[in-house]
Amino acid sequence: MKIPIDSIIIGERFRKEYKDIPKLAESIKRIGLIHPILIDQDNTLVAGGRRLRAYIYLDREEIEVTLQTNLTELDKRIIELEENVQRENLDWQEVINSRAEIHRIMVERYESENKDEDGFITGQEGKQVNRWTQRQTADMLGIAEQTLANDLSHFNAMQSIPSLSDFDTQQDSRRAFKKVTNYVETQQMLADGTLELPTDFDSEAMYQIGDALEGMSVLGEENPSILFAEVDTPYGIDLDKLREGKINYEEWKKEEFEEKTTTAASLVFKTLAKDSWCIWWFAWAHYEVIKATLNSVGFVLDKVPLIWNKQGHKHTSSRPDLYLARGYEQCFVCRKGTPVLPGAGRSNVFNYPPPDEGERIHPAQRPVGLIRDILRTFTIPGATVLSPFLGSGNTIIAAYQEEMKCFGWDLSELTKVDYLKNVAGLKKIGGFEK
């Protein structure tokens, strides 16, 4: 039947945003309303809020409705939520919220309908039975039980950390939650002493949270013990876009890259000992800028870069029809003063497979074995290594294993706790020996 639109009571709705109303209105105008909206005996809207708004958008006075009587408030809520959760244009946050609310309502409904006079939920012959389960809700929604379990866990996380709902995708939000959870767990392990680090491993002094440029500015000039620097600045090549869905990478913006690179190069040069080595990782897009900058602050450069050949790694290209896949990374080798090369005679190619993707705690992570080889090539046991932009902290681990000291900074406390767990894990399996 048709009833006047102004006689319909909309009430409080679970869904707050209705997208593409003009598009739906155009469709209704062209082919009509395929599914009438649902109302109860009091003319209160139960399902079809988006269709009703499309009719209002079209300035229609009446709308086709289906009347369903004797609905409880729980019935109405479930009908609305089930209709919403099946819609393809629902945001991921709305899907999770709807599924969580449906499960909550079904648990509440089951308990209210199955309690005996003593308040117990009973089954046949008075035996106590399980309450409404996640499996039953999942079957009702036509999804896997594990999917619902993940969504309910994610829903609870968003109640505790509302900013988790700000991500564009559910996958990004889950990754962020995993990082936060890892941080909380690690901090607790550090507090109660269950995260066991090597006794001579001063994690706080080596892995510092803060801005590397600010940190280096107070180190003073020509520290005699700092004989080597490994520098990997935030490249400014939109790593977040290239690695969509990965952890955030605090990169320098393109417009500030040259200025910050000059500042970093000046500070590294000033801090290093009188006769010392430095390697500087770079993207080919910045070859000329980095080369000119390092020369301008006083470094002497080898024109041929050091090459990390990613041996055994599956190489890919974003445009295989135009470009060969890149199978290596590169860095400038530069020196201050007239240092002697401890690894004299070694080639400029270092062959090491990159860390497996599942083992990475940072998008630009390099293997410890590679860094150990580089350290042996350019400096000696007992030296102090400056690694201003720490990231995964693998340079600290490599330096420790080569009987050197290393320190630097990172902006992310989350990355640091991943690094500490990595250190503790290596110690536990005996993989952290010098």
- Please report the pLDDT score of residue 242 as a whole number: 34
Does residue 184 sit within a domain?
no
How many domains are there within the chain? 2
**Cα–Cα distance measured from residue 290 to residue 6, given in angstroms and rounded to the nearest whole number:** 68
Stretches where the chain sits below pLDDT 50 are 124, 236-249
Cα–Cα distance measured from residue 284 to residue 368, given in angstroms and rounded to the nearest whole number: 23
Amino acid at 235: Y
**Which of 226, 289, 288 minimizes the C-alpha distance to 260?**
289
Residue 85 lies in a domain: yes
Tell me: do 133 and 254 sit in the same domain: no
> Cα–Cα–Cα angle for 422, 391, 429, nearest 5°?
15
Q: What is the CATH number of the domain that holds 273?
A: 3.40.50.150
Please tell me the predicted confidence (pLDDT) of residue 17.
Answer: 58
Length of the chain: 434
In this predicted structure, what is the pLDDT of residue 86?
53
Q: State the chain's mean pLDDT as an integer.
A: 80
Q: What global pTM score does this model have?
A: 0.59
Residue type, 382: G
Concatenating the DSSP letter of every residue in 305-360 gives PEEEE-TT-----S-TTTSPPP-EEEEEEEEES----TTTT--SEEE-PPPPGGG-
Domain with 294, as residue range(s), is 203-428
What would the pLDDT profile of 127-155 be if each residue is shown by its tens digit? Answer: 555 577 888 888 877 788 898 898 898 88
26 with 112, same domain? yes
- Which pLDDT score, from 0 to 100, does residue 267 have? 97
Q: How many percent of the chain have pLDDT more than 70?
A: 75
pLDDT of residue 238: 39
- The sign of the torsion formed by the CA atoms of 394, 398, 401, 403 equals negative
- 310 plus 382 within the same structural domain: yes
Residue 247 pLDDT: 38
Shared domain for 147 and 294, answered yes or no, is: no
- Helix axes of 368-378 and 394-401: crossing angle, nearest 10 degrees: 60
* Judgement on whether residues 212 and 140 belong to the same structural domain of the protein: no
Half-sphere exposure at residue 54, Cβ-oriented, CA atoms within 13 angstroms:
25
pLDDT value at position 232? 93
pLDDT of residue 409: 94
The pLDDT of residue 239:
36
